[in-house]
Amino acid sequence: MAGEPKAKVIPLHKNSSRAAAQRRTAARAESARRRHPSVLSDPPGGASAEQIAAVIHEIDEHRGVAAGTDPEQTPNELAKRIAAVAEFIRKRMTGDYPVDEFGFDSHLNDALFLPLMRVFFKSWFRVEVSGIENLPTSGAALVVANHAGVLPFDGLMASVAVHDHHPTHRDLRLLAADMVFDLPVLGHAARKAGHTLACTADADRLLAAGELTAVFPEGYKGLGKHFKDRYKLQRFGRGGFVSAALRAKAPIVPCSIVGSEEIYPMIADVKLLARLLGLPYFPITPLFPLAGPAGLVPLPSKWHIQFGEPIETAEYDESAADDPMVTFELTDHVRETIQQTLYQLLANRRNMFLG
């Protein structure tokens, strides 16, 4: 009719979007009321959707601060990570990183190898560390540890334990078997990670340079022993590690590792296959080789690494390093200390997978 005001026409898609937004706001408000009835109780006369949304936003901000996830800090953290990656690439491209005479690349070790090993250390083996205060803050020392588990994960976990738990984050230099360095890719990576040959000459050079050095005197006899012989230390060789410590006047730190024996329970050793493949042993475990590649995944046993009190060598004279009686006595003392500590740790363990 003439003279009557025309009704305002609102496009259908705008109506639908507005209705959907109102429904979402109402749903969030109702959810917030259920979670926080005292905070979002309806005031006299009711509250607008905008007021409710503002309160919800404030609650979410407080919750984020309490959880330590400040949204304003996220871009800064992301920027720092990007800058760190860029700096790493720049140094690798320009060669601006140190490499020592053994091939140890601490820049690559900190950026690549240690983070990879930390996955096993923290999440898979859940390693506990004790006695880290027995390692010197500086200068040479020889860490002597038991060896087990078919593959030498124990040495790698000991490296992470020292680097991450020692107050000065020292690098543990491992003395490894010749076969490790004969492998095309693994040997090069081992050099980069700071490992070197388990020989008297390299041990002497590392200790003379003041390095924290680790040796596993059981060698393949420890790695390749059957599961029924777990935590029974094998023979410690001829005591060459003791002679090296005596020459350098470096303390000997016994290290006992519990948990490594269970990662690959070895029930048999196929010696014929080992000889054909040029291996020290060919293990048969409950999962290998029947399960194929899955059998190479270590079982998630619970680990404990304990560093014992150092055995001082400074009091011995220079001729002691060449005295068979002195080296035998110290070798036996170190071996017995590790064995007794293993028994103590095992007695306190509830379960091989729970600790």
pLDDT digit string, tens, across residues 327-341: 999 999 999 999 999
Dist. CA 184–CA 190, nearest whole Å = 11
Residue 258 CB-density burial (10 A; 0-12 exposed, 13-18 middle, 19+ buried): buried
Query: Count of H helices and E strands in the chain?
Result: 13, 9
157-190 residue pLDDT tens: 999 999 999 999 999 999 999 999 999 999 999 9
Amino acid letter for position 261: E
Residue 78 CA: distances (Å) to CA of 66, 72, 74, 75, 118: 20, 11, 6, 5, 21
Give residue 56's pLDDT band: very low, low, confident or very high (50, 70, 90). low
Lowest mean pLDDT among 6-20, 255-269, 278-292, 307-321: 6-20
Residue 281: per-residue pLDDT: 95
The residue-averaged pLDDT of 97-105 equals: 92
In a domain, 137, yes or no: yes
In a domain, 66, yes or no: no
Strand order in the sheet with 196-197: 128-130, 304-307, 252-258, 141-145, 212-215, 172-176, 196-197
- Is the pLDDT higher at 78 or at 22? 78
How many residues are there in the chain?
Answer: 355
- Domain of residue 165 covers 106-113+125-263+298-348
Give residue 229's pLDDT band: very low, low, confident or very high (50, 70, 90). very high
Tokens 């036996």 belong to which residue?
Answer: 332
Nearest Cα to Cα of residue 280 among 185, 178, 154: 178
Residue 2: per-residue pLDDT: 47
Lowest mean pLDDT among 49-63, 196-210, 289-303: 49-63
Give residue 30's pLDDT band: very low, low, confident or very high (50, 70, 90). low
The residue-averaged pLDDT of 117-145 equals: 97
In a domain, 211, yes or no: yes
In a domain, 46, yes or no: no
pLDDT averaged over every residue in the chain: 86
**Across 22-36, 59-73, 125-139, which has the greatest mean pLDDT?**
125-139
Please report how the helices 200-208 and 240-248 are oriented relative to each other, as an axis angle in degrees rounded to 10.
Answer: 30
Cis peptide before 289 (omega within 30 of 0): yes
The residue-averaged pLDDT of 17-31 equals: 59
In a domain, 247, yes or no: yes
Here the CATH number for the domain that contains residue 331 is 3.40.1130.10
In a domain, 84, yes or no: no
Dist. CA 332–CA 316, nearest whole Å = 17
Phi/psi of residue 224, nearest 5 degrees = -100, 20
Give residue 10's pLDDT band: very low, low, confident or very high (50, 70, 90). very low
Amino acid letter for position 201: A
In a domain, 168, yes or no: yes
What's the domain count of the chain?
1
Helix (H) or strand (E) holding 328: helix 324-347
Dist. CA 91–CA 135, nearest whole Å = 31
In a domain, 286, yes or no: no
